[in-house]
Structure formats: C-alpha cells, structure tokens
Chains A and B, each alone.
Chain A
Amino acid sequence: MVRPILYRLADCPNSSLCRRLFLPPLLSPLLRDVPFVSSEFPTPSCAAFPLQFVRTDQQLSFSSSFRTGASYQPLGFPQESSLGGTKQPGVKSKKRDISAQFAPGASFPAQMADLMESEDFFHQAVTEERRPGDPSGAKDDVSRLSPAIGIDLGTSYSRVAVWHEGEIKLVPLDENNNTEIPSCVGLGGSPDDSPGENILIGWPAFQLLPQGRAIHRARRIVGRVDTDESLQLGARFWPFLVQLPGIGIRPVIALKKGDRWESVNAEEVLALQLHYLRRAAERFLGRDVSDAVLTSPAAFTRFQCGRLAAAAAAAGLRVRRIVAEPNAVGLLYAAQEKQRESARRKGTGRSEAAGGAGKSDRGKGTGAPGEQKESGRGKETEGPKSDEKESEDKEKNVLVFHLGSGYCSVGIVCIDDGVSQSRAIAGAAFGTDDFVNNLVARALTDPRTRAPAPDAPTDRKTLFWLWQTYREAMVQLSESEFVDLPEDPALGKTLSRAEFEESNEGLFRACVDMVTRCLADARLKPREVQEVHLLGGGVRINKLEVRKGREYDDELVKGAALEAAIAGGVPGVDTGLLLLQGINHPLGIKVEGDVFQPILSRNALIPTSRELIFTTIKDNQEQAIIQFYEGEQPVVEQNVFLGCLQVAPLPRARAGFPKIIVCLDVDAGDALRAHARVEMPPGDYEDPPGPLPEPLVVKLPSVDVGHGWCKEALRIKYGTSADVRLYETAPTGVRKKDA
C-alpha cells in the first residue's frame, strides 16, 4: 500500500512561507539525496534581492492618497463605478450606475455584455484621475511602457503581481488588502443595499457557494467537454448546477438566482474574474492595464489555453504569454539565484577587503546595498545559512512539483545565471480536489457491496457540505493520524490517514509517475537534481489560514510578472534573465490507420518549427485533409483535436508520389501555426500535373470544441479517402539527399 507521508516543510525564517504537501513516500526514495529547498527558502542571502517576498504592509506604502481619498470600497463591479466617480472630486463625474443595469431580470451573459460596454467608462475613469503625488501616474514614459501584469488565475485562489518601481509587487485584491482571493464568481446583494443582484467576486462570492449562488473551479471546467471523466467525478460535489449529458459538448453550468438556475459558461466566469483582477491592478498602478502574462497548469491543452486567452480578451486583456507553472517558478528562482550570486560576490569582495569572515550578506547592513536600490528588506531575512552550497557548480537542475486543487504540474528546469531552461514537463488534470472527491465517494459507497450506499444523500447542499467536511479533515490529517468527523449519519466517526491513503492510492501513484517521466525526459538521474521546489495546496483550505498570510504560492504569480517584465522589455529589469519554455504536449497529425504522427515532440524548446513530408495513400487522390492533434497517445482517438486543413486539389498522380509538406511552427508566445504546401518530385507524369494548391497557413486550434464531434464528422464525411501517410524516404540506406 502506498503510504504517503505528510511532509511538513520546516518553517522558514519568513513564517509566511510554511508549506505542507502530501507526498507519497515513493517520491522520497526517488529524490532521497535531494535537499528540499523550501526549508531554507528564501535564504538570508536574498536580503538584497528586490523580488523577494514583499510583505503586505510594505506593499501598501504605495498609496497614501489612495487610502485617505474616498473610502476604499470592496472591488465588486458596482462599487467600482462609484469609486471612479468619487475618488477625486475634481474629475467630472461620468458615473453610470452599473448596478442598475444588473437588474434582477437581466440574464448573466447580458450583464457581461453590459460590463464590456462599460469598459470605456472604466478606462476614462482610470486615465483621468491621475492621483497627485503618484509617480507612476505622473511619468508619461512609465505609463506608456506599462508592463504587463502577471496573473495566476488558480483553481481555488487568484493572485496578481506586477513589476512596479523596480520590483515585483503583489497587488492587493480587495478591501482587506488580501493579495489572494478565492476564484469565485457569484450573484448576490450588494453591501450598500443597491437594488438588484450584483456580480460578486472573491470572498463575498465565496460566502455564497453553499447556496449555489456562486461558481468556483471554473478553471477545471474551461475547455473541457462533458465526457471528461474527472469532470464527471468532481462535478457531483459542486454546489452549483452542472449538467454533463456526456455527448461531447461543453458542460452546462448554472448558478442560483432566486428560485431558478441561470446558465453561465466557464469563459464568462473566468472573464469576470480576470476583469476584476485587471481592475485591481489598474487601481494599484494608477494606469491602464492592457496586457497580461498568465500561468497555466502543465496539463492544459492548447485548446484550454485558447479559451483562457479568449476569456482574457473578453476582460480587456491581451495575453502576452501563457507560462506553464513549473516554468514560472523556475524563472523566479533563476532571478533570485542570480541576484543572490551577485550579492554574494559583492559581499565576499567587500568582506575580504575589510578582512571580514566572508558570507557577510546576512541581514540588512552587510548586504549589497548597491543592488537595485533595495537594501531595505534585509530585516525580513534572518535564519540559517547553507554554506555548503557556495562552492557548487552554478548550473542547477530544479524539480518543481506543484499540486494545486485542480491540476498537478511537474517540471524540471535548469537554472544557470539567470536563464531558466525547461528540461521536462508533465501534468495531470487532478489535484487535491480529487483527493477529497475520492474520500467522499468512499463515504457514499457501501463497503461490503461496493454499490452506492442506500441512504447516501443526493441533494447538492449536503454533498457539498460533506465535501467541505472531508476537505477540512484532509487538511487536519497533515497534523495527526486521525481526525474526528462531525456527527452525521453520512459520515463515519473518524477518518484515519490510512483510509485517506488507501482511497487515493492511484493518484499518489500518478504523482510518482509524473516525476519519473520528467526525470527520464530530462535524461537526469535523481541525484542530478539539486533542488526540489514544492508548491500548491493540499492544505489551503479555510480562509482563516489564508488570513495568516501564507504566501507559498506567490512564486507562480511573481514568476509570471517577471516574465511579463522581461518579455515586455521593461527598463530596469535585468536583461540577463530569460525564460526558455518547452512544448507541453506532442503536436502532430493523423496518418493512415488513425495513427498519431508527432511532428513536434514534448519538451522541444520554443520558438521552434519542424516539417515532415507526407503523401497520398490512393492513386489520383483528389485531396488530403490534414488533421492536427495534440497529446501523448499513439492513436489519434485519445488525443485532442486541434483542427484540420484541406490540401486540394492534388495533381493526378500515383499514391505516394506527391509531397505534402506540413510544417508546425510554435513562436515564442506559444502560438501554433500549421503550414502546408505541395511539391511534385521530378519524374515521368502520365498527365501533366495541374496547378499545385497554394501554400496555406492555419492558426491552431481552429475548432471550437476540443474533442469529439469534429473528428467524428470528418470520419463520416471523408472516411479514409483524404488520409495521408509519411512520405517514403528511401529504405534506410545510402541515398543521395534531395536537392
């Protein structure tokens, strides 16, 4: 039996960085010799590092005028309008009562449209009210360059960070200056008792969850279809309505409005959240924000990334990059290491000159005050110092393991002097939610018959309550062997760690497999991994704990903000920093016999392109339909359909004669394009071949639904008549290459 140990990673000097994670012991033999970096992270030597963990109270030094101005109201959309109008009395009020638009009768999507319409208003409000004394508002060049913001739109919590005044800052997202808020969108009454129902986001929406009046976990739904197994399992325990007919359409989700359910879709929910986050960033920065870098789980398909980008567009954000989670962590760490390294070098030089004992970069006074005007944070970093690392080779392989609520991402990055290069990546569409799902499912099953227990509750509210109870119990299990459950017929008396482990054996195994695969992909032995970074929930449960100020997941969003600054060419960012990302899943096309022929392999570093030559399978074949897929499986059926293009008309020729050249091109922003053209090799033609089809470029994904229908339709319409196969290069042997 798999016996997961709950590693409670030692509290680091920065008490907010305490992380706990469920890790199966199978991981530990794999990584036995690897020091867990989290226990000494951040190390004292990051004292001089400006990207280092910014305390909430320090962050907010930005805006005294902000606070002393009109009351800082919650960031619900209706309030924003009033804020725009009241913050500076001098500005001509263009106030439009948005809450009035959100009339009780108006449907949710209509509200969304209204929201979009009111964009102009928001923009004007923001640009007009330049707060006096706010440097970012005063300097034109700063606002013109406007670095993109980094957004971590997590499954359960969202965060925003941005490169601001020479460092990465977390953006406060609500009236309590929380820098993370639940990824929830709900409909509810407004705090100021304005009529109608308002769209609420974050904690206010979180409160509405049990009543079904809010949506959470939209990131688990987006870009997935109703046949998705993990969606089907998880959706049973969600408090809002989810309909999964199981025919390959997007799920119908709805929230409670009065006494009926109102349908929304996941993109809308994400767009509302993103809009809210964007507004929070604009408020923080005092300028417009139009660009963002988002993080995504490694398991996200291109289709899901596309939907995420579409949601961002609806929220008025252009997505510059989508960074896979392990890469975001890698980049931030590369930057920190570089900073640490140069601080160390400076520190050592100085102390040698003074005849000191070296390694004097502990704390504020002896740090490297020259480092980017940021010596003032030294006081945060007291703690042990790892001396043995000093002499180490500067290249480091870092394994990042992130188990969030909805997705699990594993990656190995190679850190070298500010460059973070992705070596391998793996992801799965399960997270800590699924651990809880398994617990609840177990509780609802009769242990003897393995059938659903006869008295199992079926109503949504109870199921959600059960789910939350177990979630809480799971967290407590990280501290104790047994947890007492509340008294309820549907629950047992206690939950033991053994039971928990037993229910989730498969998931633990999957975690291990991902790590193993990454190591194999990167061609690394476990001992060649110098550090392991662990992130993510497993424990992030109730808001009480959040209020304690745990920040361990901030690295994701900070990494995204840093990439935004680098890719945006923001002055002041170290130009030696670079993120080299790879492709998360193999990309290829369907060839004869429903076989998946990869063109670009997993982990190929981007930007990249590769072409393969295909040919017809029938004599005088009139056209070829190139079907593009993404995925790991050898048969196309199990991979994700990205789109297709038609190469026609093909010249009359024997089967296997025309060369259909397909090139897949991924640019630095991870946009995928397919190029196709036809060539006729020289030879004797019976008929002169007609004109060749013109070269064609298609942006992928080009279909609307990630799975199912399209390829079925293609099969019905064309069968195998438009299939292709790999062009025969001469049987492996000495052969002159083509001109």
Chain B
Amino acid sequence: MSIHQVESQHSAECWSCGSAHGDDTLFFCNQCGAIQAASDTADYFQLLGVEPTFMVNLPVIEGKYKALQRKLHPDMYATKQKVEQDFSADQSSLVNKAYATLVNPLSRAIYLLRLRGIEAGDGEEGTMSDFELLSEVMEIREAIEEAEDIGGLQKLHQENAEKMRQSGAAFAAALQAGELQQALEWVHRMTYWDRIDKEITRKL
C-alpha cells in the first residue's frame, strides 16, 4: 500500500460532505461526487465491477478499466485539492493493480484462490509431485531447446496456449464445484504453461 493510505484510511463518511457511505461506495461519494480514499476491503473484481469468476470477458474488463482511469487518474486532478490528488493516486494505482491481476489468466486464477484463503504463490514454481506432468514439461522444454526455426517454435507456442486454455477451463470448473485442492493443482499446471510461454517468447 502506498504512503497516502497510511495517512488517510478509508472511512465510513465522505471527507468532503460528511454523508455516510453506502456499501457500494468505492470511488466517489454518492452525495457530492468527491473522490474517496481507496477501499481496503473491496476485491479486484468489485473494483472493476465484474463477476468474480475465472471466465471473465476481457473486453469488458478493458472497457471498465479505461472508464475508471478516465475518472481516477491523477492527471485529472491536477487542479484539485491535495487530498483529492492523494486519493486519486491511490485509487488509480489500485485499479492498475486490479486490472493487471485480472487481465492475465494465471494471476487471475491465483487471485481467485487467494480470495478463498489459499495461497498458490506468486506464479513461482512449487514442489511438484505429479510425475506425469513433470515429464511432460521436461519434454516440452527439450523441444524448445531443439526447435530450429521460428515455425517450430510457433507451433509449440500454439500448443502451449491451448494447454493453458484447457487448464484454465478445468480450473474454472473445479472452482465452480468448490474443489479447491483440484483447482490449486490446475493453477500449478498453468504456472508451468506460463513459464513455457515465456521461454518460447524469449526464443522467438
């Protein structure tokens, strides 16, 4: 959290007009429209106003994100009071983080688990006991090493993207069914696919 937030906690009342906040007050006072301190309870889905599911509609997220930044970005508060500028900096930063987390499938999955009290790491590779997966990953890595031309790499890249998509769908299903342990395992797989994706793009 940034410095400003330490000084100005999210409070139950509008700093400007004093009216009480409703539950839905995330950015602006319902009464006077003044920008408020960043919420310390709302999750990223609430901030961007989308359903907390894995299968999100990316264009919707993009649109909501830009609409929010248009209202919250510090550039819009150049001539306002210091307190509003500080709130804007925090809010804008928070929305950026929310956007970055939700727009990427892996970080979105990790975040969904975190909301359920499960820590899946930060996309780091964990200990893995699924030998089948491990050997699959090894094979792909070898294939990447050996790939001679761009075409081969691109093929691997596509295959990997497909795996990521499948793992994501499986994760979404497990999450829906409340099978958190299973969902976590799918996140592990997604972590590997993400790694492989990065390795391929580095070589491309």
Contacts and interface: CB of A to CB of B under 8 A. Distances in A.
Interface string A522-545: 000000000000000000000000
A668 B89 contact: yes
A737 B96 contact: no
A482 to B, nearest CB: 33
B73 interface: yes
A572 B78 CA distance: 14
A673 B181 CA distance: 38
Contacts of B75: 566-567, 569, 578-579, 668
B1 interface: yes
Contacts of B99: 605
Nearest to B97: A608
Interface stretch (B17-25, B114-122, B170-178): B114-122
B74 A578 contact: no
Interface stretch (A50-58, A278-286, A727-735): A727-735
B119 A697 contact: no
Contacts of A566: 75
B108 interface: no
A669 B89 CA distance: 10
B204 A516 contact: yes
Interface string B50-78: 00000000000010001001100111111
A605 B96 contact: yes
Interface string A569-598: 100000110111000000000000000000
B73 A580 contact: yes
A734 B126 CA distance: 12
Nearest to A417: B66
Contact of A668 (B92, B124, B126, B188): B92
Contact of B97 (A419, A610, A735): A610
B184 interface: yes
A33 interface: no
Nearest to A393: B59
Nearest to B115: A737
Contacts of A520: 201, 204
Given A606-B96, A608-B93, A668-B89, A735 B119 contact: yes
A733 B96 contact: no
Given A607-B96, A609-B93, A737 B3 contact: no
B69 A580 contact: yes
A668 B117 CA distance: 32
Nearest to B76: A575
Contact of A729 (B119, B180, B204): B119
Interface in A400-420: 416-417, 419
A736 B120 CA distance: 10
A376 interface: no
Contacts of A665: 2-3, 93
Contacts of B78: 567-569
Interface in A357-411: 395
A417 B121 CA distance: 37
Contacts of B92: 607, 668
Interface residues of B, number: 37
A569 B73 contact: no
A732 B100 contact: no
Contact of B3 (A417, A611, A675): A675
A608 B66 contact: no
Contact of B188 (A697, A729, A732): A732
A9 interface: no
Most A Cβ at <10 Å: residue of B121, B127, B188: B121
B117 A737 contact: yes
Interface string B86-100: 000100110011011
Most A Cβ at <10 Å: residue of B96, B126, B180: B96
Contacts of A697: 3
Contacts of A99: none
Main secondary structure of the interface of B (DSSP, over half): helix
Contacts of B118: 734-735, 737
Contacts of A673: 3
Contacts of A729: 119, 121-122
Interface string A179-216: 00000000000000000000000000000000000000
A609 B120 contact: no
B81 interface: no
A737 B119 contact: yes
B117 A578 contact: no
B135 interface: no
Contact of B79 (A417, A569, A733, A734): A569
Most B Cβ at <10 Å: residue of A517, A567, A606, A607: A607
B110 to A, nearest CB: 10
A605 B181 contact: no
Interface in B134-162: none
A446 interface: no
A560 interface: no
Nearest to B103: A523
Most A Cβ at <10 Å: residue of B97, B124, B180: B97
B181 A734 contact: yes
B107 to A, nearest CB: 11
A732 B89 contact: no
Contacts of B188: 732
Nearest to A608: B96
B94 to A, nearest CB: 9
A510 to B, nearest CB: 15
A520 B180 CA distance: 32
A557 to B, nearest CB: 19
Contacts of B76: 569, 575, 578
Interface in A314-346: none
A419 B126 CA distance: 39
A734 B180 contact: yes
B74 A607 contact: yes
Given A567-B78, A607-B93, A732 B121 contact: yes
Nearest to B198: A520
Contacts of B79: 568-569
Interface in A63-84: none
A584 B200 CA distance: 22
A609 B201 CA distance: 26
Interface in A235-256: none
A729 B118 CA distance: 11
Contacts of A119: none
Interface string A416-427: 110101000000
A608 B94 CA distance: 7
A228 B72 CA distance: 41
A710 interface: no
Nearest to A29: B150
Interface string A601-639: 000111111110000000000000000000000000000
A579 B204 CA distance: 30
B69 A733 contact: no
B70 A609 contact: no
Contacts of A736: 117
Contacts of B3: 665, 673, 675, 697
Nearest to A607: B93
B61 to A, nearest CB: 12
Contacts of A675: 3
A667 B184 contact: no
Interface of B: 1-3, 62, 66, 69-70, 73-79, 89, 92-93, 96-97, 99-100, 114, 117-122, 124, 126-127, 180-181, 184, 188, 201, 204
Interface of A: 395, 416-417, 419, 421, 516-517, 520, 566-569, 575-576, 578-580, 604-611, 663, 665, 667-669, 673, 675, 697, 729-737
The 5 tightest CB contacts between A and B, nearest first, are A732-B126, A569-B78, A520-B201, A668-B74, A569-B79
Given A419-B69, A668-B92, A734-B118, 8 more contacts: A520-B204, A578-B66, A606-B93, A729-B121, A732-B126, A733-B184, A734-B184, A737-B117
13 contacts: A416-B66, A578-B69, A606-B93, A606-B96, A607-B93, A607-B96, A609-B93, A663-B1, A730-B119, A731-B126, A732-B126, A733-B184, A734-B184
